[in-house]
Amino acid sequence: MLDAKLVRGSTDEIAEKLLVKQFKLDVTRIQALEGRRKEIQVKTQQLQNERKVGSKRFGQLKAAGEDIAPLKAEMDRLGEELKVSEELLGQVQNELNEILMQVPNVPDGSVPAGESEDDNVEVRRWGTPVEFGFEPRDHVTLGELNGELDFETGAKLAGARFSVMKGKIARLHRAITQFMIDTHVNEHGYEEIYVPYLVNADSLRGTGQLPKFEKDLFKIEREDQSDLYLIPTAEVPVTNVVRDSIVEDAEMPLSYVCHSPCFRSEAGSYGRDVRGMIRQHQFDKVEMVHVVRPDESWETLEKLTAHAEAILQKLELPYRVVTLCGGDLGFSAAKTYDIEVWLPGQQKYREISSCSNMTDFQARRMMARWRNPESGKPELVHTLNGSGLAVGRTMVAIMENYQDERGRIRVPEVLVPYMGGITEI
């Protein structure tokens, strides 16, 4: 959520910056509400002052034994008028807050202009795509060849966009997850964390999924209890660990890594990536989350991205890094790097990680703060997150990049110990 004072004081400037995200701020409505808010606030303060003066006068008259009935009647009238004014002020402030809850984070000045993923800007590449002496198969065909990646049974059990893994493929999926967690904990200094896969609405509001993106979530309605939602990413529960809290400076920065399943309705992806594991309703991801001091967040974004890249480098998978343009930038993000891995079966780079700096946008919604030792006062933290990596897409990349002409899949060297010595699938 944007700073309400900043929006009120620089409405036109904020509106211009948000156009980079293809978002049109309703300046007229905000300015009208802000004018109304100021008017009511001035009246409320006047009534409060009148009541304060009257209360003092009331005590003096009573102590002097004088008739207090006329003043009491006036005080009662002031009290009723003040109550109405405070309620009106609350209504206007709530309306302004509801508008702000729908407004995305302001993009950083380094974010390139553009309308879609076609306008993202490549930053760097690593590795060279493999040149096969045969036409490479995609992961669906490879899975069908060995019979251990089964989309038909997944559809029977739950419907489209689900899969079943068996045997060595299932073990490979597990091995990738463990390898990622171990790397981030042992080499990158993250603390492993395990969180609920169901969260309440407050958690989703905190990270920005609600209210705007409710249709993308799987909701569980409960009688006589608050509704719960299946997490779309571990970013939600992990980031909300610091909701409504003040982190002491000695504990900062916080760096968490979490493996979890993710559940997404893919409401806006009809007809896209219907084949295979690229866009599923249920998938696994290893998520990295940072909670940092404000002056550390941009350096942390670079480190976070490098940590995700390190996984692909160890797996020897070619990839590229792109900076998302404004039109492709997420709701809560001020800047995002996407890491795209090379998939021979599609002959293109596909997203495998998004690493984002949310600045204080999520923190303001969550009231997540740290105690600044210089002032001794609580200040908003900055939050960042990134996939390190999406497990299913990593497995897809391994299957397609490590295949041979017979459809066999070589296990990357770093994963062999996690596979119990198995070198081929």
Give yes or no: 375 in active site. no
Q: Is 4 annotated as a binding residue?
A: no
Catalytic pick from 8, 57, 279, 293?
Answer: 279
Catalytic pick from 137, 205, 264, 364?
Answer: 264
Q: Quick one: tokens of 20?
A: 């980079």
Q: Is 264 annotated as a binding residue?
A: yes
Catalytic pick from 161, 205, 243, 393?
Answer: 393
Q: Is 265 annotated as a binding residue?
A: yes
Dist CA 399 CA 412 (whole Å): 10
Tally the residues of the chain: 425
Q: Is 144 annotated as a binding residue?
A: no
DSSP string, 332-394: S-SEEEEEEEEETTTTEEEEEEEEEE-TTHHHHHHTEEEE-TTT-SEEE-EEEEEEEEEHHHH
Dist CA 420 CA 130 (whole Å): 27
Look-up of token digits 């974010």: 111
Catalytic pick from 354, 356, 365, 400?
Answer: 354
Give yes or no: 122 in active site. no
Query: Phi, psi (5° rounding) for residue 116?
Result: -150, 180
Give yes or no: 86 in active site. no
Q: Is 181 annotated as a binding residue?
A: no
Give yes or no: 406 in active site. no
Q: Is 356 annotated as a binding residue?
A: no
Q: Is 246 annotated as a binding residue?
A: no
Q: Determine how many CB atoms are found less than 10 A away from the CB of residue 187.
A: 11
DSSP string, 39-52: HHHHHHHHHHHHHH
Q: Is 278 annotated as a binding residue?
A: no
Q: Is 55 annotated as a binding residue?
A: no
Give yes or no: 10 in active site. no
Q: Is 63 annotated as a binding residue?
A: no
Q: Is 153 annotated as a binding residue?
A: no
Catalytic pick from 125, 351, 379, 410?
Answer: 351
Q: Is 398 annotated as a binding residue?
A: no
Dist CA 355 CA 127 (whole Å): 20
Q: Binding site for ATP: what residues are annotated?
A: 264-266, 351-354
Q: Binding site: what residues are annotated?
A: 233-235, 264-266, 287, 351-354, 385, 387
Q: Binding site for L-serine: what residues are annotated?
A: 233-235, 264, 287, 385, 387
Q: Which residues are catalytic?
A: 264, 279, 351, 354, 393
